[in-house]
Amino acid sequence: MSGMKKRRVGDRGQVTIPKELREEFDIRGGDEVEIRKDAGKIIIEKPITREDLAAGYRARGDYLRELHDEMDGVSQEANEYLGDPPEWV
């Protein structure tokens, strides 16, 4: 969505989130949102679900496993190129 869109606040304090933003952030009727203030602004955001958090942890674990495998390979290459470390190490 380009630019800002103005919305009128109803008598009960309700504001409609523009359709483009609801679609972009996958917010549907009945969903919960978090509302907070930050640096003089009102922030509305979709809360992180347990599923989102679990997916993030899985992705982090996958990344760390890939990094470990890559570093293990680099270490083996270095040993082959340089030979075994001296006994005093």
- Whether 51 has a pLDDT exceeding 50, the answer reads yes
Mean pLDDT score across all residues of the chain: 89
One of 2.10.260.10, 1.20.1250.20, 3.40.30.10, 2.102.10.10 is the CATH number of 14-47, namely: 2.10.260.10
**pLDDT over threshold 60, residue 44:** yes
Residues facing 35 on adjacent strands: 44
- Residue 41's alpha-carbon distances to 3, 20, 38, 75, in angstroms, are 17, 21, 5, 50
Which of the two residues, 85 and 39, has the higher pLDDT score?
39
How far from 73 is each of 5, 61, 62, 63, CA to CA, in Å? 53, 18, 17, 15
pLDDT for res 8: 94
* Residue 79, token pair as written in the block: 């040993």
Whole-model pTM: value is 0.52
Q: Select the more confidently predicted residue: 36 or 78.
A: 36
Q: Which helix (H) or strand (E) holds 21?
A: helix 19-24
Which pLDDT belongs to residue 85?
Answer: 72
